[in-house]
């Protein structure tokens, strides 16, 4: 990968590189701080962070290491530090691998939706991601003892990231030792396991509404470069790795972060390769690259704007604060962690195991769709529900059927209590 940038930058004054480094720093600060600046309130974004905040200081549950840290540090401060350190170690890994295009790769990763999500939404993945980069860096430097200690830390934040890091480490050692048969056998097992394990994610393109995903412009640029360079052996290897990570990201939540990381590297190599090859029109080349860069920036900034407007808002917590402590509140699954954080009990939340959620989804789909009075009452009593919380988004999602229908027309079992700026709370008498 030492082919392009040295030739390219040799034609330009040194201050251009210094200007680029300064630009990357500014870009990183913008994407790390902008969501909080645009946000109408100071509440953490999304719902998963509230699970960890509810369990702050505990070394149990999902992501015990992240739970523990949140007792002693403010979530926004930790995310900022994690984001900066992750960029530093990504850069150091690329430098260790002699990747000349590392500065541009860094820039591409910063403006990706995956980066914005990782270090603005307080899930456990950001810490696991950082420690995996530290682990790989120590591995590349052959410092296996401290690398092993870091690997143990990764398991505290997310055991799946820990297993993924361990698998990459094993592949790396096999590659160094030339054990190609075992190497490709494990890759085959990886593909098979990825295909048969779990369900495919709902979406992977952030521009099309995915919770977190890749930019459509990044995928288009990668496809465009493949059409240009498919005959190059080096690019075939890079696209092979990208394809494996893409498949992995379709099945595993955190997979998109590693796919976006590698996609940034792939795009940076392609970017300089397009600068190096001979074009009939340099104007056409520059115009195409400008469109791609503007598209990537637009996609990243659009995603930042979207997550800055994400729930929760003050109205939800104001409504919950008016309810008795330890009361059981039913709402949508995404509201469960907010309910728990407010000191109430939720009947379900997004951090439950798939086995637990399987039964709950089946029961509550009946609850939300059926207008059978006896069946609805039976389910609410089974889960010991005291209150039901509904806002405008849920009214549109659930529509005027099932539970919402009974709330409106059954005053014997349900009583409307109050409306907190669009957040309605109903009492269920059991």
Q: Which residue has the higher pLDDT, 227 or 319?
A: 319
| pLDDT tens column, 193-207 | 888 877 777 778 888
Whole-number average pLDDT of the chain:
89
Region 135-147 average pLDDT: 95
**Per-residue pLDDT for 6 more than 60?**
no
Give the whole-angstrom CA distance, residue 362 versus residue 214: 31
Region 295-311 average pLDDT: 94
Most confident of 83-87, 277-281, 420-424: 83-87
> Taking the CA atoms of the chain, what radius of gyration do you get in angstroms?
24
Task: Label residues 261-296 b or e (16+ Cβ within 10 Å = b).
Answer: bbbbbbbbbbbbbbbeeeeeeeeeeeeeeeebbebb
Q: Which residue has the tokens 């994690």?
A: 82
Region 317-332 average pLDDT: 94
Region 269-297 average pLDDT: 87
Region 401-408 average pLDDT: 83
Of the listed ranges 10-19, 138-147, 367-376, the least confidently predicted one is: 10-19
Region 254-272 average pLDDT: 94
Residue 1 has a pLDDT of: 46
Residue 77 has a pLDDT of: 94
Residue 13 has a pLDDT of: 57
Region 52-63 average pLDDT: 90
Residue 15 has a pLDDT of: 66
| pLDDT tens column, 160-188 | 999 999 999 999 999 999 899 999 999 99
Give the whole-angstrom CA distance, residue 105 versus residue 294: 16
Residue 363 has a pLDDT of: 86
Give the whole-angstrom CA distance, residue 316 versus residue 339: 9
Least Cα distance to 195 among 247, 261, 156 occurs for 247
**Per-residue pLDDT for 8 more than 60?**
no
Residue 11 has a pLDDT of: 52
Residue 343 has a pLDDT of: 93
Give the whole-angstrom CA distance, residue 351 versus residue 275: 46
**Per-residue pLDDT for 223 more than 50?**
yes
Residue 234 has a pLDDT of: 78
Residue 3 has a pLDDT of: 46
What Å distances lie between residue 187 and 167, 170, 181, 192, 248, CA to CA? 10, 11, 10, 9, 12
> What order of strands is seen across the sheet that includes strand 345-346?
345-346, 328-330, 387-390, 423-428, 414-420
Give the whole-angstrom CA distance, residue 175 versus residue 333: 44
What residues contact residue 339 under an 8 Å CB cut-off, 6+ apart? 320, 329, 331, 345, 346, 349, 389
Confidence of residue 330 (pLDDT cuts 50, 70, 90): very high
Percent of the chain with pLDDT over 90: 63
Confidence of residue 407 (pLDDT cuts 50, 70, 90): confident
Residues pairing with 389 in the sheet: 425
Confidence of residue 257 (pLDDT cuts 50, 70, 90): very high
**Per-residue pLDDT for 375 more than 50?**
yes
Torsion angles phi and psi, residue 263, rounded to 5: -60, -35
For the chain, first and last CA: distance in Å?
A: 68
**Per-residue pLDDT for 128 more than 80?**
yes
**Per-residue pLDDT for 63 more than 60?**
yes
Residue 231 has a pLDDT of: 77
Within 10 angstroms of residue 156's Cβ, the number of other Cβ atoms is: 20
């Amino acid at each position: 990968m030492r082919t392009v940038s040295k030739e390219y930058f040799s034609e330009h004054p040194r201050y251009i590189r210094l200007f680029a480094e300064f630009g990357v720093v500014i870009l990183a600060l913008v994407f790390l701080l902008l969501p909080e600046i645009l946000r109408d309130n100071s509440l953490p974004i999304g719902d998963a962070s509230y699970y960890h905040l509810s369990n702050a200081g505990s070394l149990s549950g999902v992501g015990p290491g992240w739970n523990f840290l949140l007792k002693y540090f403010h979530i926004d401060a930790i995310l900022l530090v994690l984001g900066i350190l992750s960029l530093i170690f990504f850069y150091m890994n690329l430098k260790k691998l002699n990747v000349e295009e590392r500065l541009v790769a860094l820039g591409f990763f910063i403006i990706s939706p995956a980066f914005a999500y990782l270090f603005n939404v307080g899930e456990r993945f950001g810490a696991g991601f950082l420690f995996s980069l530290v682990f790989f860096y120590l591995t590349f430097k052959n410092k296996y003892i401290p690398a092993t200690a870091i690997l143990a830390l990764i398991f505290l934040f997310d055991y799946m990231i820990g297993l993924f890091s361990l698998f990459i480490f094993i592949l790396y050692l096999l590659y160094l030792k030339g054990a190609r048969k075992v190497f490709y056998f494990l890759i085959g097992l990886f593909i098979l396991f990825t295909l048969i394990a779990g369900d495919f994610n709902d979406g992977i393109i952030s521009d099309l509404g995915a919770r977190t995903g890749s930019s459509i412009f990044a995928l288009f640029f990668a496809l465009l470069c493949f059409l240009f360079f498919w005959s190059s052996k080096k690019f075939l290897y890079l696209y092979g790795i990208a394809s494996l990570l893409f498949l992995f990201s379709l099945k595993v939540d955190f997979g998109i972060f590693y796919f976006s990381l590698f996609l940034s590297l792939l795009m940076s190599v392609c970017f300089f390769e397009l600068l190096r090859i001979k074009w009939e029109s340099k104007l056409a080349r520059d115009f195409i690259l400008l469109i791609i860069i503007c598209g990537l920036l637009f996609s990243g900034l659009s995603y930042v704007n979207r997550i800055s407007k994400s729930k929760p808002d003050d109205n939800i917590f104001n409504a919950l604060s008016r309810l008795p402590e330890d009361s059981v509140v039913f709402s949508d699954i995404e509201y469960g962690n907010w309910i728990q954080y407010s000191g109430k009990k939720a009947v379900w939340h997004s951090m439950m195991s798939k086995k637990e959620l399987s039964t709950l989804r089946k029961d509550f789909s009946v609850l939300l769709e059926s207008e059978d009075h006896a069946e609805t009452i039976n389910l609410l009593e089974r889960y010991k529900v005291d209150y039901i919380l509904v806002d405008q988004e849920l009214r549109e999602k659930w529509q005027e059927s099932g539970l919402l229908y009974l709330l409106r027309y059954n005053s014997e079992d349900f009583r409307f209590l109050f409306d907190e700026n669009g957040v309605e709370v109903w009492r269920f008498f059991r």
